[in-house]
Chain A
Amino acid sequence: MSGERDNAHSATDIEVQAADWLQREHFWDWSAGDQTALESWLAESSAHRVAYLRMKSGFARTERLVALRTPEKGEGRPLWPGFLGLAASVAAIAVLSVAGALYLSRGSASSEARYTTPIGGHELVRLADGSQIELNTDTALRLSMEDGRRIARLERGEAYFQITHDEAHPFVVETAGHRVTDLGTQFSVRDEPGRMEVILVEGRARIDSASAQDQKESAVLVPGDLAVATIDSMAIRKETARDIANALGWRHDLLIFHDTTLADAAASLNRYNRNKLVIEGPAAARLTINGTFGTHDVEFFARMAQSLFRLHASNNGTTITISR
């Protein structure tokens, strides 16, 4: 990005300059030459432009102070009409919710949509009912409406669900063999071969084994619960708020490692990147690290492992091998 760092002037210096332009423009004689000078100052850098826009828009809002005007003092020139227009536009703050409007109009009997992310992908799907689903790397999700139930089939990968609860239209997440039914919730579901993990963040949800009718297992999850379900078992344990935040770091494109072995950290990064990390030898694999990495920071991770533990790293373009 051009002009990413403009250290020649601090933000405060630029703020002072922007305030200076503004007061000159509004309180003193303003010539065409001044206008040209202002425009060339603005064109010098985006830092100048954003500082000026900020100052000008904020100054427009101080228009409110005119309410304090005392009538007995001598009247000066009238206030500039431009201020009011800007103030109005600032008040209209409503965040654009350009809903990537989806399907699931509640009346329609059958509608279906499929969403996928590639390795390293991260997408937000907004549903017409206000629910949101965040898809993590290498994920496939199929949405449909069946018998009044909102069904999300997680074919692979991981997703974070923020569901608008609707008693009449339950929201159900299915993976191979398991089912999570929303009871008004935020939760994540991760599908791995032979295993499903559910982290409940807010509200409640019910988890069922969808297939094994005979010995059907079922449990209600409350916030902080991590449920791990396999073909023949289901276990639930309490996680700390910190562990949950760490486990959901991917929502911010982050991986958070806390006393994590290099082997496990590499496996995590490998979910997000085509350039795969290989940790060679048990001695290197057992080293542990703490820290936060971007999901795409393979090279940075390798450099860090190199300098921190004095390991060797070689990168052939598809694989980075780390060894003693």
Chain B
Amino acid sequence: MAEAPSTDRDDTPAHSTAAGMTASAAEEWFVREVLPLEAALMQFLQHNWRNKSDIADLRQEVYVQVYDAALKQIPDRAKPFVFKTARNLLINRVRQLQIIPIEAAVDVTALDTAVDVPGPEQTAVVRDELRRLQTALDHLPPRCREAVVLGRIQGLSGREVAARMGISEQAVSVYLINGIRALVNEVYGASSDRKVTS
């Protein structure tokens, strides 16, 4: 983040550099337009890529490329841009693997579906988000769940959670890290594949 000059107490935001502006605009765009597409993106990746252990890396790579592109110029429309990036990434990965009948990995019919069909109704997603979060919370291991409930729901600090649970602060951190990751993945709708594997 660009530092605002300390003497400047104007209400107008201090733009110390043009680059700083672009970066925060790109971040804001990424959070607002790209992250909500994650469930559809994950579905697309899972449908079109055999090796499930690659999916998290592929998703990250799509995000990196999309974000880097947005730093230069924010794309007009997020969804086609994200899926185009994902598709190109899959094609390039296949190419690196040097497998020739590429159809085996990239199903063009599915590409059509993923790009053209609108994602799940957003209002419905919001409506049952609490229910899904609650389910995800219930699936956490008991101690991890307790730490998350005390910290995130009851609003205790990490130190207070440690005291309440009678465990070390490091252990609280580990529980919180795992709990946050599980809940966040639930929020983005990536939980369906987890249920299948466990």
Partner-B contacts on A (CB < 8 A) = 1-6, 10-12, 14-16, 19-20, 22-24, 27-28, 39, 45-47, 49-51, 53-55, 57-59, 61-62, 64-70, 73-79, 86, 89-93, 95-98, 100, 241-242, 245-246, 248-249, 251-252, 254, 256, 258, 289-294, 300, 304, 308
Instruction: Please list the residues of chain B having a beta carbon within 8 angstroms of any beta carbon in chain A.
Output: 1, 27-28, 30-33, 35-36, 38, 56-57, 59-61, 63-65, 67-68, 76-79, 84, 87, 91, 95, 100-103, 106, 108-109, 111-112, 115, 122, 126, 129-130, 133-134, 137, 151-161, 169, 172-173, 176-178, 180-181, 183-185, 187-188
In the assembled complex, the CB of B76 is this many whole angstroms from the nearest CB of chain A, namely 5
- On chain B, the residues within 8 Å of A79 by CB distance are 155
CA distance A201 to B48 in the complex (A): 22
The answer to whether B173 and A62 have CB atoms under 8 Å apart is: no
Residues of A within 8 A of B112 (CB): 245, 248, 251-252
Please measure, in the bound complex, the distance between the C-alpha atom of A90 and the C-alpha atom of B156, giving whole angstroms. 25
Residue from B84, B111, B137, B173 within 8 A of A23 (CB atoms): B173
Q: Is the CB of B27 within 8 A of A53?
A: yes
**Residue numbers in A under 8 Å from B30 (CB-CB):** 50, 53
Instruction: A300 to B38: give the CA distance in the assembly, Å.
Output: 31
Q: State whether A55 touches B133 (Cβ < 8 A).
A: no
User: How many Å lie between the Cα of A77 and that of B155 in the bound state?
Assistant: 6
User: Contact between B56 and A15 (Cβ–Cβ < 8 Å)?
Assistant: yes
When distances are taken between beta carbons in the complex, the residues of chain A under 8 Å from B28 are 89
A65-B134, A69-B153, A90-B32 known; A291 vs B64 contact (CB < 8 Å): no
Partner of A47, one of B60, B100, B159, B187: B60
Task: List chain A residues, Cβ under 8 A from B184.
Answer: 19, 54-55, 58-59, 62
Contact call A89/B32, Cβ cutoff below 8 A: yes
Contact at B78–A96, with CB atoms within 8 Å?
A: yes
Q: Shortest Cβ distance from A21 into chain B, in angstroms?
A: 10
Within the assembled complex, what's the spacing in Å between the Cα atoms of A77 and B152? 11
How distant is A311 from chain B, measured CB to nearest CB, in Å?
Answer: 14
Report yes or no: A75 in contact with B155, Cβ–Cβ below 8 A: yes
Point out the residues of chain A lying under 8 angstroms from B57, CB to CB: 10-11
Assess whether A58 is in contact with B78, with CB atoms less than 8 Å apart: no
B197 → chain A closest CB, angstroms: 14
Cα distance A1–B176 in the bound complex, in angstroms: 35
Question: Which A residues lie within 8 Å of B35 (CB)?
Answer: 53-54, 57-58, 90
B134: min CB distance to chain A, Å: 7
Bound state CA distance, A251 and B30, in angstroms?
25
Cβ-defined contact, A3 with B153, below 8 A: no
B112 to chain A, nearest CB (A): 6
Tell me whether A15 and B109 are in contact in the complex, defined as CB-CB below 8 angstroms, given that A28-B159, A98-B77 are known contacts. no
